[in-house]
Amino acid sequence: MTQKELYNIAKERYAALGIDTEAAIEKLSNISISMHCWQADDVKGFENTGALTGGIQTTGNYPGAATTPAQVMQDLDMALSLIPGTHKINVHACYGIYEDGKVADRDQIKPEHFKPWVDYAKARGLGLDFNPTYFSHPLAGDGTLTNPNEEIRAFWIRHGIACIRISEYFARETGKPCVMNIWIPDGFKDVPADRLGPRMRYMDSLDQILGCGYDKELVYVTLESKVFGIGLESYTAGSAEFALSYSTTRGILPLMDNGHYHPTEVVSDKISALLCFNPKIALHITRGIRWDSDHVVRYDDETVEMMKEVVRNNALDRVVLATDYFDASINRIAALVIGMRSVQKALLTALLLPNEKLKELQDNQKFTELMMLQEEFKFAPMGDVWNEFCARAGIAGDATWFQAVEAYEKDVLSKR
């Protein structure tokens, strides 16, 4: 049977259950996910500042990592060619592009240093998102926006403002709003003597950054919380309570990274809570194993559950989706493709559920039938719908996409 015939059967089977596969494919085609550039080079960036700091880590040394802007862009292109849909590229401030090694310090970065990214995005019709980089820098060791040293704190405030300007530039040039996410690693390895002071300074620093004046239609500022980092186990200034309270009181978007909570807490349960109070929220989709390990996103229960929350609450235009993980132990292009396609598969799963019917069962306390149906739908023929979705984008829905990655590894990566 051809793929098309299989799809037509699936379409009929779903129709019998009241589910419109055409509508699901159409919706999925329009969901844009912000793909992080930093999986391509293990979060190194182009400033040559040395080791990755800030309590995050990449492990592994699979050959072929990108080391130059051209290589990162080439690898992103390769990944995008295997991911259906039109997406955004998420750029970090440490990925500025400098001529003759003349790196601008973080408080001096300008739109011109990111022009090649704009050219890249425009040529491909992609949107761009941005992130200040508050790590991997000599002045980041003892705190950035919480630093008790006013000169250092001012340096990082200037960095934040410089990043807002670059985000505005991205939005204007691409014609798509730019999401600018603030995350700082600031915290302490051991029991602090003052927990309030750093948080008050963080609040003031953020107020100063947001106070620079910017177009809220162009730049969506998001604030990401975290529970701990490596070497920062006892205290993180930007905790969940801090980030949520700050975002809701200042009208910016809270960002939840699902690696940033205690292991039995789930972001799938937090999405609806935040949707009650925020017009828009943002997600960093990752996979933490035992800690915030940033493993490649897979099609697992929690990823599906998170996407169900976005879809069934009609929140596709209220939840900004971005990937955030970094695995240096496997082919990095495959890592990007697997993670992005897993998010899309989770979205498709959610789009192919009888969500209204399931809600009705819950409201009518028919919990046995609800459980039965939730389980039955796990084996529904969504694979045939996925293959059709990919075929319409001219991309392989099955494992054959991997052949292109293998060829690229042989022809390009192995020669680096």
Q: Which residues contribute to the site for ligand RNT (CB under 6 A)?
A: 38, 43, 56, 131, 183, 224, 226, 257, 284, 292, 324
Which C-beta is closer to Zn ion: that of 111 or that of 185? 185
Residue 286 Cβ vs ligand RNT, minimum distance, rounded to whole Å: 7
Among 168, 257, 384, 388, the one annotated catalytic: 257
Residue where the block lists tokens 């000599």: 138
Is 324 marked active-site?
A: yes
Which C-beta is closer to ligand RNT: that of 91 or that of 380? 91
Residue 38 Cβ vs ligand RNT, minimum distance, rounded to whole Å: 5
Residue 181 Cβ vs ligand RNT, minimum distance, rounded to whole Å: 7
* Residue span binding Zn ion (CB under 5 A) among the ranges 38-46, 131-139, 143-151, 316-324: 316-324
Among 292, 309, 327, 388, the one annotated catalytic: 292
Is 409 marked active-site?
A: no
Residue 129 contact partner, candidates Zn ion, ligand RNT, none, CB within 5 to 8 A by sort of partner: none
Is 292 marked active-site?
A: yes
Q: Which of 32, 126, 41, 93 is nearest to 340 (CA)?
A: 32
Which C-beta is closer to ligand RNT: that of 43 or that of 274? 43
The single-letter DSSP state of residue 413 is: G
The backbone torsions φ and ψ at residue 286, rounded to the nearest 5 degrees and listed phi first, read -145, -175
Contact residue for Zn ion among 47, 129, 257, 327 (CB under 5 A)? 257
Number of C-beta neighbours around residue 201 at 10 A: 19
Residue 38 contact partner, candidates ligand RNT, Zn ion, none, CB within 5 to 8 A by sort of partner: ligand RNT
Q: Please report, as a single letter, which amino acid is at residue 118.
A: V
Q: Which residues pair with 128 in a beta bridge?
A: 89
Is 401 marked active-site?
A: no
Is 183 marked active-site?
A: yes
| Cβ-Cβ contacts under 8 Å for 180 (sequence gap 6 or more) | 129, 130, 131, 132, 163, 164, 167, 219, 220, 221, 222
Whole-number Å distance between alpha carbons of 147 and 315:
37
Helices (H), 352-400: 355-363, 367-376, 382-392
Whole-number Å distance between alpha carbons of 103 and 94:
10
* Residue span binding Zn ion (CB under 5 A) among the ranges 57-65, 195-203, 215-223, 320-328: 320-328
Is 224 marked active-site?
A: yes
Q: Is 168 in the site for Zn ion (CB under 5 A)?
A: no
| Cβ-Cβ contacts under 8 Å for 84 (sequence gap 6 or more) | 29, 344, 389, 390, 392, 393, 395
Is 294 marked active-site?
A: yes
Whole-number Å distance between alpha carbons of 387 and 192:
53
Which C-beta is closer to Zn ion: that of 257 or that of 388? 257
Q: Is 324 in the site for Zn ion (CB under 5 A)?
A: yes
Contact residues: Zn ion, CB under 5 A: 257, 284, 324
- Catalytically active residues are 183, 224, 226, 257, 260, 284, 292, 294, 324
